[in-house]
Structure 1
């Protein structure tokens, strides 16, 4: 049997342990937005995911429509938008019916006749992240970046099943980023703190970079791998995402292996996620 997300061999049906944590992370993030009480650790990390759907050509159209809806709703202070006012829905190559199915499943918006009504998640994002900000402030710039990340997480949740991929496409980028970080999290689960260095997998003289391993799991092409790596390094924008540096190290295998260095924001997020996941069994015991 294989995990439906990463295709790794498993002993039982359903998700592998790593992908279970990936899906749990997505839900933990969204829960905070629905509650309207977003912790700084979550907020800071979500900004790091702002590129995830913009970089993914298979699903970029969904993101563009979602971002336009939220932008118009915020700028016009409205929860209802005439469908004809949306430019991105006609610009995308994705069939319109499929776009609306995904947007509605993500609770970003839904169709009501010839109008678009914003969903619960969009309302919460506008209320908690965008309301009352000065357009020239650094806070506003950060908020817009965070909104892009939050939309990427919300859309990412809708792409967590094989059936979804077969119909709508596969959100490879956000899933691969979270999968890669989860491998690092699991590797350091029992340590006092999560290390900033993402060390490779080492077995004897076999050494493999975890990012390269992840890209292979999610079938990213060489071109896609380069684009994601460039986004992480900030080559196009001058601002890195998720990581703050990449170094090369010699592990005695005849060639240097890259070792990404995580940003402080990413490390804090992983430590908070580990704490929340550890709390879950205790919470269930209390409920019982």
Structure 2
């Protein structure tokens, strides 16, 4: 039972003293999934132990992370506790973001050292062959190696951006954005159909990147002259990009979003990882299923549509 709270408690948790005093504090601030943890902490205090623990607690504005320091106080009517809650939510979020940045940096360094080495080796070997034999046919292989390096660098730089952050969002015409993205993708003679999907609340630049990578994926894997469609599902939950190619086997549909995963010798393996990263940065989800035409259908859900 709460005997007293200070002004800082009222400000941080949003509960006035007259509402809390005389009540069980846990009933107000302990989330249901943390009740067992709170019970253990209470038992430790009752046993006379000093406590310091990172805990998640409910405030009037939502769940936040606190550092709890709890000291038992002996009294004539039993053991009481003196608890101090320090809000560390912002610090924890900064630490998590730093960890995410470190992970991206490690992946970036790994990709640079591993994935760029192969086309560099090809270029060196072919260049040496040209020097030794004068066979200019090898120049085409050198050019292809450089094009692959350009593609890898473009994708790596995209992944190196703050993946969890988007710029200002606005209601954008998905049909117009789809045609803009189509114009920037190497679609190899594919055809695009946009079925009036409406507007999307999004960062326009990042949405263009997302669609460009989905279009490029369809062009590279859906066979010759694939048909690519952008539309909204019947329940209006988000939008989809579908093709009429061979599709993606069910046992590979999770793997395709992994960084560096590719079944195409010429692919970078980063395009769909970029798609997932941009989707998550908006608070969306992305998955791949079998489309109506038997090809791959990428569904982006959790989208605010208009």
TM-score range, shorter chain: under 0.3
Compute the TM-score of the two structures, normalised by the length of structure 2: 0.25
Q: Which has the higher helix share?
A: 1
TM-score, normalised with respect to structure 1:
0.26
Query: Which is bigger in relative contact order (C-alpha 8 A, separation at least 6)?
Result: 1
Structure with bigger gyration radius: 2
Bigger fraction of residues in strand:
2
